[in-house]
Every structure is written in structure tokens, then in C-alpha cells.
Amino acid sequence: MNVIKTLRLILRRFTENDLGDVYKIYGDEEINSFLPWFPPKNPEDARDFYINRIKSEYSKEGAYYCAVCLKEDNRAIGYVNISADDSHDLGYGLLKEFWHSGIITEACKALVEQLKNDGVPFVTATHDVNNPRSGEVMRRLGMKYQYSYQEQWQPKNVLVTFRLYQINLDGKDDRVYQKYWNNSDVHFIEVI
């Protein structure tokens, strides 16, 4: 993936030089409370997280995993990523001091535009119903709510109700990604 620049941001790969920022971003329990992994507890855990989770994504065909950096200092303050599987699932996180500034929306819009240019047909994103602000980001990206479903989320082993959002980038507006619906015994459509 090439470096992506926006008005305020640089989206680039994480590097070993970002390990301190990786610890700040991924080690914050509040930032990661709605994510499946357990936050790294110390800098050594953050290094392992970088090697085993982030860096390993760079070798996967179709995966995008970006550090979100301010142009002024190129310091990682968050991340945006797209999974390499058939869901093209969007994920994101941001240091708390930058919440409510439009940064993650700006970063996600730039990444979705890159995906469109690269021929990715659609993008999905899910959020825990207890994290409605994440759904607000999805709507600002032009994503549309499709359905809700329950999943026993691992490794935290908690039952979560997710809302799935989707944006089709290839003009096939009637396409709905069905895998989560089909894999869940409890699924439904909410009035949102």
C-alpha cells in the first residue's frame, strides 16, 4: 500500500519506530474496550502485538493496515485497516485526545477512496450496539445499516450484538454481505 495523504493526515504502514505509539494506541483499555483483543499490558506486549498482529497483516493479499499520523509530525495517533478476507471489514481506533475532531472519519474516507481506486467492490464495518459513536463514523462515510447479529466474541468470550454497515463501491447497490447473518443464530433488522 502506498502512503495516503489528506488535508491533515498521513496514512502509512506502522514501523518499528512506532512501537511507543503502538503501545499508547493499543494499550489503552478505553480505546480498545469494543475490540476483540486484550490490550498490551507493557511495551514488550506491544512489540509482540506489532509483530504478530500488525506486521503480519502486511503480507496478506488485500489487507490494508495504516497508521494514522498527523502531517505536522508523522506520529501515529491511531489506525485504520481493512481485513484481507471477503468481508473487506473496516476497523479503526484513535487516541482519546483526538476524539471528536473528525480525524478518524477523514482517515477512513481516504482509505475507502483508495479501496475504490484499487477495485475493491465493497466495504463492511461492524460496531457493538453499546458503541453507537462508531456507527456515527460509518454513516458519515456513506455506509448503510444492513442488519444486526449476535456473536460470541473471542478471545474476550463475550456475547456481543453487532450492527453491520456496508458501502458498495462498484455501483451494485443491492449487494448485502450475508456471512455474519448466515453464521449467527440470532440476527434481525433494526429500525435505526
Q: What is the pLDDT of residues 53-76, one digit of tens each?
A: 899 999 888 889 999 999 999 999
Residue 74, sorted as left (phi over 0), alpha (psi -120 to 50) or beta, turns out to be: left
Residue 4 has pLDDT above 80, yes or no: yes
Peptide bond into 155 cis (omega under 30): yes
How many CB atoms are located within 10 Å of the residue 60 CB?
A: 12
Residue 36 has pLDDT above 90, yes or no: no
Which of 35, 91, 39 lies closest to 65 in space, CA to CA? 91
Residue 30 has pLDDT above 90, yes or no: no
Number of domains forming the structure of the chain: 1
Q: Specify the pTM.
A: 0.94
Q: What is the pLDDT of residues 75-88, one digit of tens each?
A: 999 999 999 999 99
Mean pLDDT calculated for residue range 30-57: 89
Q: Are 165 and 139 in contact (CB under 8 A)?
A: yes
Quote the CA–CA distance of 16 and 41 in Å, as a whole number. Answer: 18
- Side-chain-side CA neighbours of residue 60 (13 Å): 17
Confidence of residue 132 (pLDDT cuts 50, 70, 90): very high
Residue 43, sorted as left (phi over 0), alpha (psi -120 to 50) or beta, turns out to be: alpha
Q: Which three cell numbers stand for residue 105?
A: 472519519
CATH number where 86 lies: 3.40.630.30
Q: What is the pLDDT of residues 155-190, one digit of tens each?
A: 889 999 999 999 999 999 999 999 999 999 999 999
Q: What is the pLDDT of residues 94-109, one digit of tens each?
A: 999 999 999 999 999 9
Domain range for 146: 4-188
Q: Which three cell numbers stand for residue 41?
A: 499490558
Q: Which three cell numbers stand for residue 108?
A: 477512513
